Amino acid sequence: MTDDVSKKISVGPSGKFDGSGLSVKKRTTKNILLATALENFYGAAEEMGLDEGLVEILSHAERAISVSLPITMDDGSIRVFEGYRVQHSTALGPAKGGLRFHPDVSLEECEALASLMTWKCSLAGIPYGGGKGGISCDPLELSSNEKERLTRTFAARIAPIVGEWEDVPAPDVNTGAPEMVWFMDTVSKLRGRFEPGIVTGKPISIWGSKGRTAATGLGVATCIKELLNAVKLDVNKSRIIIQGFGNVGSYAAKFMSEAGAKIVGISDVTGGYYAPDGIDVAKAFDHISNHPKKMLEGFSQAGLKHVSGEEILEAEADVLAPCALEGAVNASNAAKLKVKYIVEGANGPVTPEADEALLSNGIKVVPDFLANSGGVIGSYFEWVQNLAGYFWTEEEYNNRLVPIMKDNFHRVWNYAATQDVVMRRAAFLVAIKRVADAVKMRGLFL
């Protein structure tokens, strides 16, 4: 990289660069996830010698809004919820990113995740920028009718800034196909025309795509398999822990189990489930499919031990794939981990402090915006099909997804080895350069 955007690349260890060498005034925040995102960005920007004007631009979101969402509850009372949508960058294309329903959703969290989506889409080589949004609520306390009213109100409030070529939301934590249909239907009715491409993650019967539901988990599993191949560890002899057994974790476990790996640990909000001789993943998958709240609660098999969510992270295995919420691996537990590799299925599951401890202990990390990019690549496939009005088979879908994931993994793996940096830093350097080049070519609109 010798162009104007990336003036230099150091081959020193990743820990050498923390952004302290930049002369720009760095942003500060008390939000852990946003602080993590900024710290990673500033460190990578310093290492690649990024023009400081571009550092200023890319350290801020293009647009961030908050909306109040008054809805009538089932008991007739009125409650007002808070909703957010952030578009970090549209330099490469429409903003792309999920909508999550969770009590901890905030504007700063959405900004952090939107920036992660910018780098994820850039690294994946797809024509999207980064966006993220959500509603601060506890979905377990809401009925289906209340969630529908909440989703439709949110869709109406942010309708002016979303569209097939502006911002394309998708499912995220505690959202799925029903919420996407309600969102699409609301905006379509407001505009007086059917706009299926305004969201992805829809059911197949309503312009969804075969393969989309499993795409993120398939991408995580693909990265795990490529990692095992790269370090010459036979997948049939590997032991894997999957933290989180929602959409991402359950499918990652399913694909790895089918590939011959031994899944020794799984978990969700009900705790961890550990079996040294291997978990019957098909049985666990069926259990959550039939559970009223889609949880592992009550799951059992011979030799299975029920442990805490923290204990499952610290159990013995070759690979840990944290596929739940951010910050799962942090300064308090990083030194206790007994795995050799971490493949991040969730967004931001490893904090910067934990990264340092993991590096010291020789634990390699495949970063989130590489490992879990199967979801956004799959969303891109659905969007393409919606715009064309032509749909693929699941086999066609997967046959397009897996090679992209493999290529992206090896591009980052090889770059990390060549430049003597950890994979997270390598992925940032590759992704930031593409976005920075686009910003520089497009210029500032005055």
Q: Residue 52 is encoded by which pair of tokens?
A: 């400081």
Of 120, 132, 147, 364, which residue is the catalytic one? Answer: 132
CA gyration radius, the chain: 21
What tokens were used for 106? 């905030």
Q: What are phi and psi of 91, to 5 degrees?
A: -65, -35
The DSSP bridge partners found for residue 99 are: 133, 171
User: Where on the phi/psi map is residue 278: left (φ > 0), alpha (ψ -120 to 50), or beta?
Assistant: left
Known active-site residue 440:
no
What tokens were used for 324?
């739940």
Instruction: Find residue 72's DSSP bridge partners.
Output: 78
Residues annotated as part of the active site:
132
